[in-house]
Amino acid sequence: MADTPAVQPSEEVLISVVLPVYRVQEYLPECLDSILGASQSFRGVEVVAVDDCSPDDSGALLDAYAAQDQRLRVVHLPQNVGLGRARSEGLAQAKGDYVWFVDSDDRLTDGALAAVAARLRRTEPDVLLVDHALVAPDGAVERNVRAHQFRGAPETFTLAERPGTLDLIMTAWSRVLRREFLLGLDLEFGHGYYEDISVTYPVLLAARRLSMLDRVCYHYRRGREGAITNTSSPKHFDLFGQYERIFAFIDREAETAEPFRRAVFDRTVRHATTVLGTPGLVPENMRRDFFRKTSEHFRRFRPNDYFHPSGLRGLQYRLVERGAYPAYAAMEPVNRLRLALRTALGRARRAARRAPRLAATAVRRAYYRACLVLPVDDRLAVYAAYWSRGYACNPAAVFEKARELTPAIRGVWVVAKDRTGSIPPGVDYVVDGSARCLRTMARAKYLVNNVNFPYELPKRRGAVLVQTQHGTPLKKMGTDLRDHPAAARGMNFDRLVEQCRRWDFLVSPNPHTTEVFTRVYPGGYEVLETGYPRVDRLVNASLDQAHRVRDELGIAPGQTAVLYAPTHRDHEDRTSALLDVRRFADELGDDHVLLVRAHYFDTPQTAPSQGVVDVSSHPSIEDLCVAADVLITDYSSVMFDYAALDRPIVIYAPDWETYRRARGVYLDLLAEAPGAVATTQEQLAEIFLSGEYTGPHVAEQRSGFRARFCPYDDGHAAERVVRSVFLPEPANSNGTATTGS
């Protein structure tokens, strides 16, 4: 909210915006700014905001805005009454000639009020219908699929002249209503879900003068958590009571409304079957009862002149009328897939027209969304790691333990086309982005990843998403990067928060990680403090396994293997190496071998030479840790894993001050290091040549570091995760389960 002098109300109030407010503090400022801000030139507007006893800071936000703009009046209700009654309270306080019911998590488009006001003054309709666009969580805007009905419409008309108007969306926010006309109809918003249709239908049926504005005036926020179109609840049964009120109005106003009874009835049945056919809305144990109510409603309100539509929909309606639930349920998957494909492909075509180069992405998204109507496979788990780079990290460890403990659950890996060689023999996989991949992901009950799955492929209702992450945080992460734009590099934080809300479980290796991640990755997930499954391989590694890996790498018996694994500098475009590995290898001598592991975001720069082995392409960092006698790293999370081995760790941090300023850190690494610290190559060489890295002082440092960051590393982390997620059993032993913020 801008710090500007208080705005005075206009003498003439043409439009009253009624704004019910409940738990929308995240969206409310954008909504208010879109109505009262500089993007609207029209000033003859008032906002009647009804704080429906909101438990968050929405009420305080309203008061702050009202102090700056006297066009905003705030009504604080003493108790929560629900959306319908909150709208009625706002209507009672409104003074404008017209009233517009706006949802407080949505927004008006720039200039919308002036365009609406001009049309109202010119035509003086009872009802003005305005066009809208859908706004996805990632900010993508998609215009109303029925926008064509607005094109070419006369400035005023009656419903009899354009009966197709009844096919438009029946929301309160999609129409601006003449206040005296609305009050004269003696209507009341319903209670519970779908509360607006008991008003939005009747106003069309009773209006003597309609108008349509072919302009996107409203942005509807799609997919918001808590929206009724996104929520499984018994409240979907409220639909029937709302339609009963509509038919009661038709009976009361038969002279004007009776000609439209059949059209309203058809929409009633279509609405009910759509709710029943949308996966995850009606709770599974209530579906038969919902069908029974639909059937009773059909027989009770069917008009005398009604005839069934043709095709599959006609068959569906006949089954509803007869109450034949088993037959209806049998054909439901076919109907779902047909409708989903039609809707999704329509979106894809529109997206392709707007941006042809994005056509492939649009089709991919459309196909995935269509596949979401297929039944969930309770025995299917999908795994991925590092943006589909291959078989690795915590997901691989969970996969292997799940095969052992829950063999009935089939695991499938998502892998990039050029990384399929990383998949071990006998492990099923799908190529990222392929039709089989999209179908598999859409049907899977379980999803396991150490990063986020693609944003445009949302988790289906009822699926379980396990976010394992891939390291203990030393550097700033998640929402903390808002203060470090060089490292964030344009990160979409709103999208990140939306992603976090999809998580059901977050695997944590230690209390420090739990404290940081639950703050910077906000969500309602459960935290599994089990330790990292990938560390099990280190803890359980035998001497024979270590010798095998060393032999594969060409490490001679008696040689000291030094693993150098620096992290990625995402705050800069570095081309020069921080360590001259050839020179360092020469300084170490022939009794050492330097294993150089570049970060997966970086291009390896190590040329083959005596005493230096580039292991950047080695499939397993865990095997490299098992093989190494000592680790050199800077700020990589590998140090926290390697500490579980209780072997020497040396920190080489020549750019520490630059890194901590640009990236931000949670630890003072130089003061809390797990071993010796060098800030120059000369110091690093001296630490090795003097043997300091193996001395008693650094062993004591390492012991304290392990106590803090490796408390659960007993070799059973993967088992705890599998038992908690797939069986499920509570995390036990060293691990505990907590809830994310």
Q: How far apart are CA 717 and CA 622, in angstroms?
A: 15
The yes-or-no verdict on residue 333 having pLDDT over 90 is no
Mean pLDDT of 226-245: 87
Provide the pLDDT for residue 573.
56
Provide the pLDDT for residue 375.
87
Band (pLDDT 50/70/90 cuts) for residue 732 is very low
- The CA-CA-CA angle for residues 315, 317, 318, to 5°, reads 65
The yes-or-no verdict on residue 183 having pLDDT over 70 is yes
Residues whose CB is less than 8 angstroms from the CB of residue 119 and which lie 6 or more positions away in sequence, other chains included: 125, 128, 155, 211, 213
Higher pLDDT, 493 or 352: 493
Band (pLDDT 50/70/90 cuts) for residue 225 is low
Provide the pLDDT for residue 724.
96
Band (pLDDT 50/70/90 cuts) for residue 413 is very high
Q: How far apart are CA 123 and CA 151, in angstroms?
A: 17
Higher pLDDT, 417 or 729: 417
Residue 257, classed as helix, strand or coil, is: helix
Asked which of 259-273, 487-501, 721-735 is least confident by mean pLDDT, the reply is 721-735
Provide the pLDDT for residue 429.
96
Provide the pLDDT for residue 7.
64
Mean pLDDT of 487-513: 89
Count Cβ atoms below 10 Å from residue 734 Cβ, excluding itself.
15
Average pLDDT of the residues of the chain: 89
Provide the pLDDT for residue 13.
94
Maximum pairwise Cα distance, the chain: 101
The yes-or-no verdict on residue 369 having pLDDT over 80 is yes
The residue to which tokens 């002249």 are assigned: 161
Provide the pLDDT for residue 408.
95
Mean pLDDT of 610-624: 88
Band (pLDDT 50/70/90 cuts) for residue 525 is very high
Q: What is the 3-state secondary structure (H, E, C) of 37-84?
A: CCCCCCCCEEEEEEECCCCCCHHHHHHHHHHHECCEEEEECCCCCCHH
> Are 275 and 226 spatial neighbours (Cβ–Cβ below 8 Å)?
no
Start-to-end C-alpha separation, the chain: 27
Higher pLDDT, 313 or 97: 97
What DSSP designation does 521 have? Answer: S
Model confidence over 526-566: pLDDT tens digits?
999 999 999 999 999 999 999 999 999 999 999 999 999 99
Mean pLDDT of 240-267: 94
Band (pLDDT 50/70/90 cuts) for residue 733 is very low
Residue 508, classed as helix, strand or coil, is: strand
Residues whose CB is less than 8 angstroms from the CB of residue 275 and which lie 6 or more positions away in sequence, other chains included: 236, 239, 281, 282, 290
Model confidence over 26-57: pLDDT tens digits?
899 999 999 999 999 999 999 999 999 999 99
Band (pLDDT 50/70/90 cuts) for residue 735 is very low
Provide the pLDDT for residue 709.
96
Q: How far apart are CA 217 and CA 32, in angstroms?
A: 15
| DSSP string for residues in 678-724 | ESSHHHHHHHHHHTGGGSHHHHHHHHHHHHHH-TT-SS-HHHHHHHH
**633, β-bridge pairs:** 651
Model confidence over 185-212: pLDDT tens digits?
999 999 999 999 999 999 999 999 999 9
Closest to 412 in 3D by CA, of 392, 425, 395, 429:
429
Residue 181, classed as helix, strand or coil, is: helix
Band (pLDDT 50/70/90 cuts) for residue 708 is very high
Q: How far apart are CA 508 and CA 515, in angstroms?
A: 10
